Structure 1
């Protein structure tokens, strides 16, 4: 059985956004991995997870375009920009008419991006947000539930949160999605990665990633791997995101389940694409 890609909104048989050029996209992705002139942090400074920095960034460029519908001229907000793993590939995709803004609670990652990306790509900007997080910014002054970014309403066509919801409690996820709704233009998209505990994930197939032995936290909706470090990996009941999204008046365009659960899929984490109604 393979993980399904469920498209929940379309207009007739038309694509949700104009067709992208697959040949050009594949060429860009290969170029990102091969281009030795693109900036890359030292291995010991990468705090955004394991795996090859350049390869994972290139992979997500593909996901944002193919699944999210990211356009080259979009104004983009990266919530949880880390140390530029996705920003670097996007420098090769976004045009000067587009713009990228990354925000993150890890000051060192923001400083690296400002030093190595912005001087060459002046439409790429980065800000430190002092939001509290037990792992990434334990002394932060802002509670996640009170998140409000310093941008005007309807400033972005595209917002993404990659490996952010996988490290947040339920109430903070709702706050982040609410803030994304405020910042998106009508018709704008929010791209989220997550761990969704559907029936297949709960059965724990033998092929499932053994690092993600989730156990339900009380009555849910959260599932934790390590209760001593609860935000190291957080999963959620199937349907949790749909309830939050619907409650905020947003529409779920796509839900694509990842191969972390032991099923064949084109990506590791689960992916949701949300649209703000026009």
Structure 2
């Protein structure tokens, strides 16, 4: 109910832009599937730019979108991927249904619903995070990315997602993901007042830990290495200074040998 109300507020804020621009009237309504904040087009374009600039996205890449939500990055990738392919999955059934309608007739764009439990986004989900199997065969993906996914997952589930990313990536494939990477100097900000949770992570809301979770950077790096991936780079987001790129969360890129 809280996410639905928050989505309704986002929709109200977007009404002037939707009325002024007929092209925006087809954008998903957040009160139905509130799985991503911000302007649908602007944020999607920014995320596409980050994938190109930091993760080496190419038009021929086979792409896996981990937590595709309502398709804001897919909207940008659909015309960009020339010779490549895209698979997106999400725990939001309504979000996947919206994506399938929006991208019908584009055979290189596929969407899958996984009924994964998450305390914030899918509390009735039947599949534990530890049992998730990504909808891709071994070594079939050039670039996988998870935007604002690990910021809503506890460390055990995050480790499973990293292991699945390593499984589906082809040799030399890249994984880009965002996180709140906590250090002694960057463990709280004016927006995110993180509180202790467990030995690897901190949270902002004890009533709903998955609302926002920050992970200690050494634990994140150990999880990446434990999945058999090599960290190629990381950049601080705007959630806490110092800021190193234009995203809100910290950005990581890992490579499969």
Q: TM-score range by the shorter chain?
A: 0.7 to 0.9
CA deviation map 1:234-264 (0-9, x unaligned): 0011211211111222110111111110333
For the aligned residue pairs, the C-alpha RMSD in angstroms reads 1.8
Per the TM alignment, residue 54 of structure 1 is displaced from its structure 2 partner at its CA by: 1.1
CA distance in 2 between counterparts of 1:236 and 1:267 reads 17
The aligned residue for residue 60 of structure 2 is 73
Q: 2:175 aligned with 1:190, yes or no?
A: yes
Please state which structure has a larger fraction of its residues in helix.
Answer: 2
Say if 1:35 and 1:77 are closer, same or farther in 2 by CA, change over 3 A.
Answer: farther
In the alignment, is the contact (CA less than 8 A) between 1:160 and 1:190 conserved in 2? Answer: yes
Q: 2:88 aligned with 1:102, yes or no?
A: yes
Say if 1:161 and 1:136 are closer, same or farther in 2 by CA, change over 3 A.
Answer: same
In the alignment, is the contact (CA less than 8 A) between 2:47 and 2:73 conserved in 1? Answer: yes
The aligned residue for residue 249 of structure 2 is 269
Per the TM alignment, residue 43 of structure 1 is displaced from its structure 2 partner at its CA by: 4.5
In the alignment, is the contact (CA less than 8 A) between 1:82 and 1:109 conserved in 2? Answer: yes
Per the TM alignment, residue 116 of structure 1 is displaced from its structure 2 partner at its CA by: 0.9
Per the TM alignment, residue 216 of structure 1 is displaced from its structure 2 partner at its CA by: 2.0
Say if 1:133 and 1:188 are closer, same or farther in 2 by CA, change over 3 A.
Answer: same
In the alignment, is the contact (CA less than 8 A) between 1:152 and 1:183 conserved in 2? Answer: yes
The aligned residue for residue 92 of structure 1 is 79
Mark the runs of 5 or more structure 1 residues left unpaired by the alignment.
Answer: 1-33
**SS at 1:145's partner residue?**
helix
Indicate the structure whose relative CO is greater, using CA pairs within 8 Å and at least 6 residues apart: 1
Alignment TM-score, normalising by the size of structure 1: 0.80
In the alignment, is the contact (CA less than 8 A) between 1:100 and 1:124 conserved in 2? Answer: yes
Q: 2:99 aligned with 1:113, yes or no?
A: yes
CA distance in 2 between counterparts of 1:43 and 1:243 reads 35
In the alignment, is the contact (CA less than 8 A) between 1:80 and 1:105 conserved in 2? Answer: yes
Alignment TM-score, normalising by the size of structure 2: 0.87
Mark the runs of 5 or more structure 2 residues left unpaired by the alignment.
Answer: 1-20
Say if 1:109 and 1:244 are closer, same or farther in 2 by CA, change over 3 A.
Answer: same
The aligned residue for residue 234 of structure 2 is 255
